[in-house]
């Protein structure tokens, strides 16, 4: 990604052993789910490239890439509602990060505690069939054998 601010100067970059595990989209980004570390409450979703992840891991504050503004931004620099990083994990596919934080103030730009507070519930989802067992050690679900990923179908 291009762009940097004087508060976030360019850095040497993300550790290659971490970078090799990431599965980026066409824009070079991975989704970053931000979760309150002690309550497990999902606060927001942001986007990171390698540099944003590097800054997050080395500074202890969450840095994102703004797709609309085309620049890095660090949560709380303007609002004071900072996110102190407690842990960062990568999912099994390498395309999503889980950033556990201690959130100070609101996580959402609207002033809501989470970005999901103001959106509202979309309604109940009908219950699907229960997973079944298909032979010794094999698991299946309504979607097919366990382990099938969306991108494998």
Residue positions forming the annotated binding site for Zn(2+) = 92, 108, 115
Spatial separation of the C-alpha atoms in residues 142 and 43, rounded to whole Å: 30
CB 64 within 8 A of CB 47: yes
130 DSSP 8-state letter: P
Binding residues are 91-93, 95, 108, 115
Binding residues for Mg(2+) are 91, 93, 95
Spatial separation of the C-alpha atoms in residues 49 and 52, rounded to whole Å: 5
The C-alpha angle 102, 89, 93, rounded to 5 degrees, equals 145
Query: What does the CA dihedral 142, 144, 150, 153 come to, rounded to 10 degrees?
Result: -130
Tokens of 78: 């303007």
Spatial separation of the C-alpha atoms in residues 58 and 52, rounded to whole Å: 10
């Amino acid at each position: 990604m291009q762009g940097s601010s004087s508060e976030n100067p360019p850095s040497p970059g993300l550790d290659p052993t971490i970078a090799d595990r990431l599965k980026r989209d066409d824009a070079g980004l991975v989704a970053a789910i931000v979760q309150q570390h002690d309550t497990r409450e999902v606060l927001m979703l942001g986007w990171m490239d390698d540099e944003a992840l590097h800054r997050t891991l080395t500074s202890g504050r969450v840095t994102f890439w703004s797709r609309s503004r085309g620049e890095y931004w660090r949560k709380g620099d303007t609002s004071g509602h900072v996110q102190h990083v407690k842990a960062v994990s990568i999912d099994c596919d390498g395309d999503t990060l889980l950033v556990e934080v201690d959130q100070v103030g609101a996580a959402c730009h609207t002033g809501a505690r989470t970005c999901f507070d103001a959106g509202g519930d979309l309604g109940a989802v009908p219950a699907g069939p229960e997973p079944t067992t298909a032979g010794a050690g094999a698991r299946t679900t309504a979607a097919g054998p366990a382990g099938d990923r969306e991108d494998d179908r």
